[in-house]
Chains A and B, each alone.
Chain A
Amino acid sequence: AQSVTQLDSQVPVFEEAPVELRCNYSSSVSVYLFWYVQYPNQGLQLLLKYLSGSTLVKGINGFEAEFNKSQTSFHLRKPSVHISDTAEYFCAVSDSTGGFKTIFGAGTRLFVKA
């Protein structure tokens, strides 16, 4: 069965600094990987997804992620964060063994300080 581990529960960072949110996954077959963002009192919004092809995936709001099969990782990066990026970020995995249901990590709270 697939699983997702987000290595940091909270990441504080100053405005305009770069940030990396780490995600490792476990699966025995080809996977599809996602990052979602959740703002307070809202549902989740898809930031980006990796299905196949190029390992560097660009998403909305200036975020990008890199798929690393050998390290089973899918880390999310942004070169310069804004106060408005403060939110909870979820990494997720989906594969055929789970009938393509999506399993989410525990989340990483990104806190951007002025």
Chain B
Amino acid sequence: KAGVTQTPRYLIKTRGQQVTLSCSPISGHRSVSWYQQTPGQGLQFLFEYFSETQRNKGNFPGRFSGRQFSNSRSEMNVSTLELGDSALYLCASRLQTRDYGYTFGSGTRLTVV
């Protein structure tokens, strides 16, 4: 069974640009969550989607947005990139929002220059 797939693995963008990251969950998993991981802040929750609806949101500015498609694939978008957005972005899926335990992808390493 294929795991959680995140694309691309690495990305370099310039300040002010926007970026879209993609996540394909494990087949049958309907919940997709996104986390930002940085050395200083650790793992910060961005948002969770279930059946195309945002169920939970973390404390990030509106520049961070996401969506989920009918096949459960998810994308997150960051507009007007700042240097501080440089991070590892991790996607995690689970069967439902109350299911217990995530399966994580390998992440997208975003560098903003």
Contact = CB atoms under 8 A, between A and B. Distances in A.
A14 to B, nearest CB: 27
Contacts of B105: 43
Interface string A23-56: 0000000001010100001111110010100000
Interface stretch (B12-20, B41-49, B60-68, B69-77): B41-49
Contacts of A100: 56, 97-98
Interface residues of B, number: 22
B90 A44 contact: yes
A29 to B, nearest CB: 14
B101 A46 contact: yes
A101 B48 contact: yes
Contacts of B86: none
Interface string B13-47: 00000000000000000000101000000110100
A101 B100 contact: no
Contacts of B107: 42-43
B97 A49 contact: no
Given A43-B105, A43-B107, A44-B90, A99 B100 contact: no
A43 B104 contact: yes
Nearest to B97: A100
A62 interface: no
B45 A34 contact: no
Interface residues of A, number: 23
A99 B102 contact: no
B33 A43 contact: no
Nearest to A47: B101
B101 A41 contact: no
B103 interface: yes
Given A101-B33, A101-B48, A104-B42, A44 B102 contact: yes
Given A100-B56, A102-B102, 15 more contacts: A32-B100, A42-B106, A44-B90, A44-B102, A46-B101, A49-B101, A90-B43, A99-B48, A99-B55, A100-B97, A100-B98, A101-B33, A101-B45, A102-B33, A104-B42
In order of increasing CB-CB distance, the 7 nearest A-B pairs are A43-B104, A104-B43, A44-B104, A101-B56, A99-B56, A106-B42, A46-B101
